[in-house]
Amino acid sequence: MPLPCRTQLVSMSVALAVGCCVVDPASSEAASPGHRGERPGLCAEGSDAERYLVVFPEGLDRRSAEERITEACGTTVAHYHQIGVAVVTAHDPTFDDRLVGGRAVSAQRSRTALDRGGETRLTSTGATLPAPAASSPPAGDLEWNLRQVGADEARRVGTGPEEVVVGVLDSGVDPAHPALTGSVDVFRSAGCLTGRPDRARDAWTPSTSPHGTHVAGIIAATGADGGPAGVAPGVRIASVKVVDDDGYIYPEYAVCGLMWAATNGMDITNNSYLVDPWPLLCAGDPGHRVAGEAVRRAVRFAEDHGVLTVAAVGNDAVDLSAPFRGVEARGGGGARCSALPAEVRGVLTVGSVGPAGVKARASSYGYGVVDVVAPGGDRWQSGVPGGGCVSSTVPGGRDELCGTSMAAPHASGVAALLASHRPDLTPPQLRGLVRGQANPIGCPEAYDLDGDGVPDGVCTGSPYYNSFHGAGLVNALAAVGG
């Protein structure tokens, strides 16, 4: 069963599985809730409180920021004063207009407006890109993706030690799965679905989606359940839940997750999602300046604290390097747009290839956008041995899923292997080495996977760097010195 069409989780299809986990219910020590002063008498009371993401000028002192939130009739939920970003709730629907010296956006309100307006969102579930009619993949080959990046050979050299921690910013990870037991760091795991970290068990374990457990298995599964091991078995996984039960990843969830990773000793974060609720974050969207700036600041803060951010490029099959985009989403008259966090400076941005070793049909692309590619699966390329999707863990077992959601954790696993062998590397150096060790993939001579006579995308660039494949396919064997 696919994820809801609204979701910006960047996988092509997800089979529903039920996960139940028992972990240490540690209490949260999140960002300070901040000042909650008396409200001015002129505050209006709406029926329901709305949540806002607020960006203040960098350098504004925390007390002044809190005073402005209170004066605008808001209540601080979380204040990431290190980057000048706060998460606020307000019953007064004019909070964003009343706020002085800051910018605010409610993703919840934007979602309602988009739903009421009937705007078509670019989907990352594959609903607009169905697989061809007889596309059953060959059975029995569940490790084609691992061989493609040399992970099977890398394991003979050595795996990642427990000192390396990868934060899986996703829908929650099942720590009771036999292939992940002992790999999930319960003390570094947290839920971010209010914009404030919550370390309670129910806050970071799966509820409606197996997506995060699948991603975690690609990185670190041990194979104890009899299935394939991950790219870097032995590394630690922190579950950071940023996907709510409706499948949305609001910008305050992402900011919370990135800040939690930065302040809790993680080395890498895997981000297999695009920020919601906008199709792509385009100029003219209410959240263009606020959400974009907040996520950029959080990524920069994470990098400054030793965290490499790895992100999927998305499954919208669009050229993200085009100067103006969003035409499909807005019925014409495209706007300058960004895919967040994939297009933030400093992020290792990952596209997807299928078993034939070329760009997956659904994978977005772009010269100067995609850093590297990794196996994400593609049923359009399922005519070759091992065709189809990527097998990994889900609560209660295993499943095969497709998408750039699956490609990104391959790159995160390779980065984890590198970090385990080269702990001296800074995030920019680690990103550069993942790119530098990649195996180049040139532009295909023809790219018409559905055979309708129309190219499914236009590849530009050289055999060593191009818009489809960036610097090439990530290389696990090179990461361990093989």
Is pLDDT above 50 for 34?
no
The answer on pLDDT for 338 being more than 70 is yes
Report the pLDDT averaged over residues 56-76.
Answer: 95
Instruction: Measure the CA–CA gap between 297 and 94, rounded to whole angstroms.
Output: 26
Closest listed residue to residue 259, CA positions, set 213, 205, 307, 313: 307
The predicted-structure confidence for 373-407, as pLDDT tens digits, reads as follows 999 998 888 654 445 899 999 999 999 999 999 99
pLDDT digits (tens, 9 = 90+) for 148-196: 999 999 988 866 566 899 999 999 999 999 999 989 999 999 999 999 9
Q: Has this prediction a pTM greater than 0.85?
A: yes
For 85-143, what is each residue's pLDDT tens digit?
Answer: 999 999 998 999 999 888 999 988 887 655 544 443 333 332 223 333 333 334 457 89
Q: Is the pLDDT of residue 292 over 60?
A: yes
Percent of all residues in the chain with a pLDDT value above 70, rounded to a whole number = 80
Phi, psi (degrees; rounded to nearest 5) at 275: -65, 135
381 versus 321: the higher-pLDDT residue is 321
The per-residue pLDDT of the chain, averaged, comes to: 84
Residue 71 vs residue 284, higher pLDDT: 71
405 is catalytic: yes
* Ranges of each domain in the chain: 144-479
**Residue of 211, 214, 288, 469 with catalytic role:** 211
Would you state the pLDDT for residue 323?
61
Which distant-in-sequence residues (6+ apart) come within 8 Å of 356 by Cβ?
A: 378, 381, 384, 387
Query: pLDDT value at position 112?
Result: 66
Candidates 170, 285, 319, 399; catalytic one: 170
Asked if pLDDT for residue 38 goes beyond 70, the answer is no
Q: Which residue has the tokens 């991603």?
A: 215
Confidence of residue 360 (pLDDT cuts 50, 70, 90): very high
pLDDT for position 377:
92
User: Would residue 110 show up in a list of annotated catalytic residues for this protein?
Assistant: no
Q: Prior bond to 341 cis, omega within 30? A: yes
238-261 mean pLDDT = 97
Q: How far is Cα 238 from Cα 221, in angstroms, rounded to an integer? A: 13
Segment 406-418, tens digit of pLDDT: 999 999 999 999 9
Q: Which two tokens stand for residue 330?
A: 């807005």
More confident position, 428 or 451: 428
Supply the pLDDT for residue 24: 32
pLDDT at 263 > cutoff 50: yes
What's the confidence (pLDDT) of residue 13?
46
Distance CA 198, CA 426 (A): 28
Q: How far apart are CA 390 and CA 142, in angstroms?
A: 7
Question: Does residue 214 have an active-site annotation?
Answer: no
Which pLDDT does position 382 carry in this prediction? Answer: 65
Tokens read off for 346: 């400093």
Quick one: pLDDT at residue 20? 30
Report, at the CATH architecture level, how domain 144-479 is classified: 3-Layer(aba) Sandwich (3.40)
Instruction: Identify the pLDDT of residue 392.
Output: 95
Contact 365, 356 (CB under 8 A): no
Per mean pLDDT, which range of 42-56, 80-94, 182-196, 212-226 is the poorest? Answer: 42-56
Residue (of 212, 233, 206, 198) closest to 167 by Cα position = 212
Segment 241-254 shows an average pLDDT of 96
For residue 9, pLDDT beyond 90: no
pLDDT at 3: 41
Catalytic residue among 405, 412, 420, 467: 405
Partners of 392 in beta bridges? 399
pLDDT at residue 16 is higher than 70: no
pLDDT reported for residue 462: 96
